[in-house]
Structure 1
Amino acid sequence: MATNPTKPEPPLRAAIIPVTAFQQNCSLIWCTKTMRGALVDPGGDLDRLKAGVAKAGVTLEKLLVTHGHMDHCGLAGVLAEELGLPLEGPHEDDRFWIEGLDDPHTRMGLEGKSFEPTRWLQDGDTVTVGELTLNVIHCPGHTPGHVVFFHEESRLAIVGDVIFQGSIGRTDFPKGNHQQLIDSITGKLWPLGKDVNFIPGHGPMSSFGHEMLTNPFVGSRYG
């Protein structure tokens, strides 16, 4: 099918690069105007990630992390150091998870190394990627310091392990809280709008509207 040559380029593009044995959705996002981008949750398989960035023709300017679990950030600090890039996120309430990345008993068979982010993030902060600005939303429950990145103009959220297509994040890890997670989804994500599409930490993309109607954990909890 022919494309419309007059259709404007969207301000943000995203590609999903699954990494680690847990098939965690690392997201490559970039500003189409500047072709500068960021990797969100570069948890492992660094050669694969670097190849994906090169294929997209993107110049990385930073790394972003949603939360401190191994599959999402185990090698984020290693990559940041190797490429000389700043690393932003998550919220500091996940410090204990990141400090624990050196513990072989918590690695779940994955590689990991602890790190100190260039910047811990708070609810209401913003992060920039090229000329894009993404809002930071603190959504505790899966982990206490979990954050979501939201680009309002594109109606796109990168939600880590807060919510999935048909499911929500586990809360049986240390400092997880089921009710807090439900409150984060219904109180902080649903108000963003039914038309918001999201990239979860695992599995296929979905939209908040679809999950409001069909998700058995939070599908009936909207106005």
Structure 2
Amino acid sequence: MPPDPSCFTGLNLPQSFTFPTTMEDFTLSAGPNTDLWRKPPNGDTSTAPIIFTSLQRRFVVAEVTISADWEMESDQGGLVIFAGPVPTQSIPSDTASRYRSSLGSAPTCKWVKAGMEFASGTVNASSVTATPDGADWCGFPLALPNRHTNILSLRIKLERVGHALWIWYQVPSLAPHAHTPGAVGSTWKKLREVTWFFYGVEDKCVHVGVYASRPTNLSRTDTMWQAMHGLRIDDSTRGNELVVNFEDLEIF
């Protein structure tokens, strides 16, 4: 069964946001310059809209299907999982500097986000892993760059295997051609294995949810870059929000 919406907490949500009555079908909107990222020496950027639940039991698996009208470079949405303190919004840079000077480092938790991302002219299955030292990125193209594709959605899965977090993805448009449970299972592709994620983490310190972000803010330089790479530029959409649709969210 989908999780209870009343158990979720929101970050970076507009005042007008109303939590859905069911987690089977809902949306998150992200404006330009919103992101979940970690890069030294500036620390965290946590401006992406997120809704999450803090688990009271051992995490097993989470799944969701993501879709959106991907338009700008780095448009993205998917699952996110935090290990450590309850996630909060970004610490202002001056506050973070004072905190580091007095205590040695800013408070951080490790996290992983995984989902669908528009990058370099195509849709990708992508993931980011973050430790207190920084973050990385990996992506697997789902179609050729700058070509029309009928891959409009992606189902992403996070699974605990011992201390590791395994990241899987599935293209829903291909899954209907599988007519048996075994065949459906074979449509899952492994994107990544994060071997260290749950090591040393208490079960009650795991927080899981979904996010959406639009890191790009189309300045003149951004517009020229996108034109050079053949990416879509539409004055009617510039500065607008990315709306990511989530279906059949499951967390166990």
TM-score (norm 1): 0.25
Determine which structure has the larger strand proportion and give its number.
2
Which one has the largest radius of gyration?
2
